[in-house]
A and B are shown apart, each in its own frame.
Chain A
Amino acid sequence: MAKVLMKGNEALSEAAIAAGCTAFFGYPITPQNEIPEYLSARMEEEGLTFVQAESEVAAINMVYGAAAAGARVMTSSSSPGIALKQEGISYLAGARLPCFICSVTRAGPGLGGILPAQSDYFQAVKGGGNGDYFTPVYAPNSVQEATDLVFRAFNVADEYRTPTLMIVDGMLGQMMEPVEIKAPPRVKVDKETYATSGNTDKRKKNVINSLNLSGLGLEAMNHERFKDYEKIKKKETLSEVDMPKDAEIVFCAYGVPSRIAKNAITLLKKEGISAGLIRPITLWPFPEKDFQKLPKTVKAVLVTELSMGQMIEDVRLALNGAIPAHHYGRVGGVVFEPDELANEAKRILKKGGKK
């Protein structure tokens, strides 16, 4: 298939169909509306299930039901809508059900605004639902990567029986880029081992439930889950690292802001300043090892995110005090410019990397 020009939201929706998603449940909210709009037409064409639910809470519970029956299932929303879905996400994690959730993030808190923001790093990575659980979180920075990661997110969801999340900043959802939707092989999972897909007496009864009133039983279930999380950390961590051997400062950014950081790095290079980039592609698991092998020339890490400073907490944990970490952000839907980031890097370097 040749490259076509598509909006991020539409391209990732098409990728979901190509990935074999058979059911979508959602509720409208800007700036993710192109996803249900697109899927409402395409899924009908393909004879698949599309439901505009009565609320976000209803939608995530429909996802629970479809996942329990063994469907490859998806929902999408934007920040305040994802907040409403948190209970359902925790239940999905508790019941070990696979699904794919896309959050096209917008500015908060509260109803906030519809402009792009990254103030939902905590929401996505640290979870808003109750209990000990994680969800793999993907953060693409181009329309092509968004579609590639949709396939991966569905596969990882099936393989580890977990909800997976993709956060797309409002810019990426709205922008158009050339894209080629390339479906990789689908991971093979025998859903009969857990799905309540209609028992024909040929197998043991499957039970989908997150309730477990036995202390030891629930403890064992938590330990089982965390074995999976360890595997995910080992096998599924993704990042892009561009590190000159003489880097003085390292940018850390994800999503479209990482592209703005790349522009800043080019500006700095013109002035003879060497800067590197660590771009987490999975926010959980966080690519902490990348921060432990920085060149000795690095004086500081500059985390540039469209928030008041959220990912910087994981960067500080990964650096473990070895190098100072600074944060530069714009919020409310305001997007920083490359020269703003370059100037901040120069200001930090002038102080020798210290505060």
Chain B
Amino acid sequence: MAKSTKNERIRISGFGGQGVLTVGQIIALLHLEHDRTVSWIPAYGAEMRGGTTNCSVIIQDDVIGSPIVAQDIDILLAFNLPSLTRFEPLVKKGGKIIYNTSIIKDPPTRKDVEVIGVDATNISISLGSPKVQNMIMMGAYLKDHPYFNEEIIKKVLLIRFGEKAEKLIPINLAAIKAGKE
């Protein structure tokens, strides 16, 4: 089985309710399926729906030090403008910014990182559920992780959402596919 081998320091940020924390957990679970060492930590505080929220995910093979990705971000998933503004300067040179063009009208200005715009909110509405905008963003993240095939993704979605959520799998898989495109 092809495996991910890269170390990744990921920060995911957006409004509460956009599925930011969930996406982080799913990314961590995917890499755990490949026996990588993973950690996930939310920036917890007095957060609420509509407020901002973010989490750090680290993927590597040896023991993880601080679980907080405070600097040297490899991949930033920015779901809204305050998130992009806050974390863009902390992305490592040569790193990647995936941002939600549906609601971020000012694109990243960094020239030394790869920038990928995803019309996540709008695509999710066209798919019939704004709840899956996080999966569309994750689809963009998974584009260069081809070893996470549909089977592993489905398995992880069931771990995260429980067997009862089986009927929600198709729309989530469709969203991930849309994000890859």
Which residues of A pack against B, CB within 8 Å?
3, 5, 31, 114-115, 170-171, 174-178, 256, 259-260, 262-263, 266, 335, 337-339
**Cα separation A337 to B66 with both chains bound (whole Å):** 8
Asked, given contacts A175-B39, A256-B67, A335-B68, whether A5 binds B45 with beta carbons under 8 Å apart, the answer is no
Q: Which residue of A lies closest to B66 (CB)?
A: A260
The residue in chain B whose Cβ has the minimal distance to the Cβ of A336 is B66
CB distance from B158 to the nearest CB of A (A): 13
Closest Cβ neighbor of B38 among chain A residues: A178
Looking at the complex, which one of A31, A115, A338 makes contact with B66 (CB distance below 8 Å)?
Answer: A338
- Distance A246 CA – B71 CA, assembled complex (angstroms): 30
For chain B, residues 1 to 54, give those with C-beta under 8 angstroms from any C-beta of chain A: 25, 28-29, 32, 37-42, 44-46
**B64 interfacial by beta-carbon distance below 8 Å:** yes
Known A5-B28, A178-B32, A337-B71; judge A266-B38 contact (CB<8 A).
no
- For the complex, is B70 an interface residue (Cβ under 8 Å from A)? yes
Q: Which of B37, B45, B63, B67 contacts A171 (CB 8 A)?
A: B67
Residues of chain B within 8 A (CB-CB) of A339 are 71
- Distance in Å from the Cβ of A265 to the closest Cβ of chain B? 9
CB distance from A126 to the nearest CB of B (A): 28
Chain B neighbourhood of A174, CB < 8 A:
41-42, 44
Does the CB pair B65–A338 fall under 8 Å? yes
Q: How far is the CA of A171 from the CA of B37 in the complex (A)?
A: 18
Q: How far is the CA of A191 from the CA of B173 in the complex (A)?
A: 55
Counting contact residues on chain B (CB < 8 A from A), the size range is 20 to 34
Other-chain contact of B38, A177, A263, A335 (Cβ < 8 Å): A177
Give the complex CA separation of A157 and B157 in angstroms.
Answer: 40
**Beyond A174-B41, A177-B40, A337-B66, 17 extra complex contacts between A and B, CB < 8 Å:** A5-B28, A5-B32, A114-B44, A114-B45, A170-B44, A176-B28, A176-B41, A177-B39, A178-B37, A178-B38, A256-B67, A259-B67, A262-B65, A263-B66, A266-B65, A335-B68, A337-B70
* Contact status of A259 and B46, CB under 8 A, knowing A5-B32, A178-B37: no
With a cutoff of 8 Å between Cβ atoms, the chain A residues found around residue B70 in the complex are 337
Taking the closest CB of chain B, its distance from the CB of A88, in whole angstroms, is 28
Q: A171 to B32: give the CA distance in the assembly, Å.
A: 20
Name the distance in Å between B23's Cβ and chain A's nearest Cβ.
13
**Complex formed: what's the CA distance from A182 to B66 in Å?**
25
Please provide the 3 A-B residue pairs with the shortest distance between their CB atoms, ordered closest to farther.
Answer: A263-B65, A175-B41, A176-B40
Residues of A within 8 A of B67 (CB): 171, 175, 177, 256, 259
CA distance A3 to B31 in the complex (A): 12
Q: Which residues of chain A come closer than 8 Å to B63, judged between CB atoms?
A: 262
Known: A175-B40, A175-B41. A5 touches B66 (CB 8 A): no
Bound together, the chains give a CA A174 to CA B54 distance in angstroms of 13
Interface centre among B40, B64, B66 (most CB of A within 10 A): B66
The 8 Å CB contact of A5, one of B38, B64, B65, is B38
Name the distance in Å between B173's Cβ and chain A's nearest Cβ.
Answer: 20
